[in-house]
């Protein structure tokens, strides 16, 4: 046995062992069928865009808490000690020490006023005593201070503007979440139908390859019997090669579309196999421009968000207009005081009302020319005008988009009907041409051309069905009807 024969024998034995091992290894189970509803559910759970927008919505609720926190009480506690001694070369050397403890609680209320409750305990000691009386002296003081703006910053409307603006921000974030979900659902549906098309197209290519191989075998048999020529066989071989190339390209398209769908419904799950997918058998629903436009205008997230933004601009306009007013504040204070020989006595005697104080003040602050305030007001006016123009633009876009979506559905419906007729015609022509060729009344070139026409008609029908479904998806995206169809509750 030569070295070449030994190598061939070893390769043959290895192939047998491998085939035996493969025969013993059970084939992996096929994944279960994949429905469109399951894809949408997985996307809502794992899609990155939806996850990011949910975080943004949650963050917007924090802005409301921040705005409300402006009306939370503020507690202030301070303790200080001072010591002073005059130089010894003065006529009288004096040393003084002071210890002060202060507690205050202040809170802003919705009228713009600030209410502050204060408590004070001081200890004063001098050596020698400056005046007759207590030394050290302990002073207690409790009081209530109120400062109310009369012009700028006055009124509940102005002071609640920040809270109302933050609440509108939460509504806008929820509307943006709705828009993100609708877009993701639309993209998932389109990716699902594109995968259906790619796999169905691959089956067409596989069937074409089977037909091409069968025709090659028939031509080889006909050549052996002297009916066909070498040219006929060569044409068959070229036909097989072309269909093999088309099948390779179809496999690439399938894998790309699988990745596109997995990217939408998962996170780094590209090795997870996708089960069988199919076109839905749902009939095309009745539709009209008037109904679709009304639904889009009532539910389109961009339009709703623009309306909420316009309300925010109105609040900004109101706030900046108020800032152009002078700052005129009215203040009032009322308190009671005591002076005793200990901290305990000072804190208890302060409530007896032996000592008291009150005061009223009025202050005016007037920026020269209000230049910055006027500029901010003009900016707020421009932002409000831009918001109005943006809303009108979106409303016009809705009209154009709904009109285009309805035309697309109508056109694709007709395209499906015509493509189905064209496929039926191509099927009959192929069968007729093949029968003529077998009877010796036609050439193999005509058979190949007829088969290519049939493949094109089948792919065109698949593409027409996909285009119809995607046009329906686009219309549902505009109407926001996808939420009801897939029973999506964004309030969770």
268: which DSSP letter? S
Which region among 39-53, 131-145, 285-299 has the lowest average model confidence (pLDDT)? 131-145
Domain edges within the chain: 32-63+163-313+381-485, 73-108+113-150+327-365
Q: How far is CA 140 from CA 40, 102, 126, 127, 356, in A?
A: 70, 10, 18, 22, 11
Q: Specify the pLDDT at position 27.
A: 54
**What is the distance, to the nearest Å, from the Cα of residue 266 to the centroid of all Cα atoms in its chain?**
16
Q: What is the mean pLDDT of residues 265-290?
A: 83
**Per-residue pLDDT tens for 68-82?**
999 999 999 999 998
Q: Which residues contact 29 (CB under 8 A, 6 or more apart)?
A: none
Burial class (CB in 10 A: 0-12, 13-18, 19+), 315: buried
Task: Work out the percent of the chain whose per-residue pLDDT is above 70.
Answer: 92
pLDDT band of residue 112 (cuts 50, 70, 90) is very high
* pLDDT higher than 70, residue 8: no
- Computed over every residue of the chain, the mean pLDDT equals 86
Tell which wins on pLDDT, 13 or 117. 117
* pLDDT higher than 80, residue 21: no
pLDDT band of residue 374 (cuts 50, 70, 90) is very high
**What pTM does this model have?**
0.79
pLDDT band of residue 83 (cuts 50, 70, 90) is confident
**Per-residue pLDDT tens for 319-332?**
999 999 999 999 99
95: which DSSP letter? E
Q: Specify the pLDDT at position 267.
A: 83
| Residue (of 241, 185, 179, 189) closest to 215 by Cα position | 241
Q: Which residues contact 94 (CB under 8 A, 6 or more apart)?
A: 85, 86, 126, 127, 128, 130
Query: Which CATH number applies to 32-63+163-313+381-485?
Result: 1.20.1600.10
**Per-residue pLDDT tens for 316-368?**
999 999 999 999 999 999 999 888 888 888 888 888 878 888 999 999 998 88
pLDDT band of residue 223 (cuts 50, 70, 90) is confident
* pLDDT higher than 90, residue 138: no
Token digits of residue 273: 């196999």
∠ CA 173-179-184, nearest 5°, is: 125
Return phi, psi of residue 55, to 5°.
-65, -40
């Amino acid at each position: 046995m030569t070295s070449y024969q030994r190598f061939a024998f070893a390769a043959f034995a290895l192939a047998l062992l491998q085939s035996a091992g493969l025969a013993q290894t059970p084939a992996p189970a096929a994944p279960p069928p994949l429905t469109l509803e399951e894809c949408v559910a997985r996307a809502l759970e794992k899609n990155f865009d939806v996850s990011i927008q949910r975080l943004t919505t949650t963050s917007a609720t924090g802005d409301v808490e921040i705005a409300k926190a402006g009306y939370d009480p503020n507690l202030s506690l301070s303790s200080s000690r001072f010591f002073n001694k005059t130089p010894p070369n003065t006529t009288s050397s004096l040393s003084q020490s002071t210890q002060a403890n202060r507690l205050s609680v202040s809170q802003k209320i919705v009228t713009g006023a600030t209410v502050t409750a204060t408590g004070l305990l001081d200890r004063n000691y001098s050596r020698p005593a400056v005046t007759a009386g207590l030394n050290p002296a302990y002073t207690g003081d409790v009081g209530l201070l109120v400062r109310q703006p009369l012009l700028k910053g006055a009124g509940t409307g102005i002071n609640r503007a920040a809270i109302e603006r933050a609440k509108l921000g939460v509504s806008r974030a929820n509307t943006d979440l709705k828009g993100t979900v609708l877009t993701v659902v639309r993209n998932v549906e389109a990716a699902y139908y594109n995968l259906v098309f790619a796999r169905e197209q691959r089956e067409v290519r596989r069937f074409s390859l089977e037909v091409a191989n069968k025709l090659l075998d028939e031509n080889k048999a006909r050549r052996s019997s002297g009916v066909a020529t070498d040219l006929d066989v060569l044409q068959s071989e070229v036909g097989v090669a072309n269909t093999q190339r088309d099948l390779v390209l179809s496999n690439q398209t399938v894998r790309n579309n699988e990745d596109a769908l997995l990217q939408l419904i998962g996170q780094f799950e590209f090795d997870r196999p996708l089960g069988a997918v199919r076109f839905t058998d749902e009939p095309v629903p009745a539709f009209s421009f008037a109904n679709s436009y009304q639904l889009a205008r009532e539910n389109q997230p961009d339009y709703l968000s623009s309306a909420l933004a316009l309300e925010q601009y109105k609040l900004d306009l109101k706030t900046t207009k108020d800032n152009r007013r002078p700052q005129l504040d009215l203040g009032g204070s009322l308190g009671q005081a005591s002076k005793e020989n200990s901290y305990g006595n000072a804190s208890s005697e302060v409530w007896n009302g032996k000592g008291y104080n009150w005061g009223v003040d009025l202050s005016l602050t007037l920026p020269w020319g209000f230049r910055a305030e006027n500029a901010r007001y003009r900016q707020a006016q421009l932002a409000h005008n831009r918001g109005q123009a943006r809303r009108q633009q979106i409303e016009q876009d809705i009209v154009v988009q709904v009109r285009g979506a309805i035309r697309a559905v109508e056109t694709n419906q007709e395209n499906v009907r015509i493509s189905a007729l064209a496929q039926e015609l191509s099927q009959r022509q192929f069968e007729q041409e093949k029968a003529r060729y077998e009877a010796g009344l036609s050439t193999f070139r005509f058979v190949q051309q007829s088969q290519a026409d049939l493949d094109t008609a089948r792919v065109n029908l698949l593409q027409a069905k996909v285009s119809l479904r995607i046009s329906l998806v686009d219309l549902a995206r505009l109407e926001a009807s996808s939420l009801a169809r897939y029973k999506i509750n964004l309030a969770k």
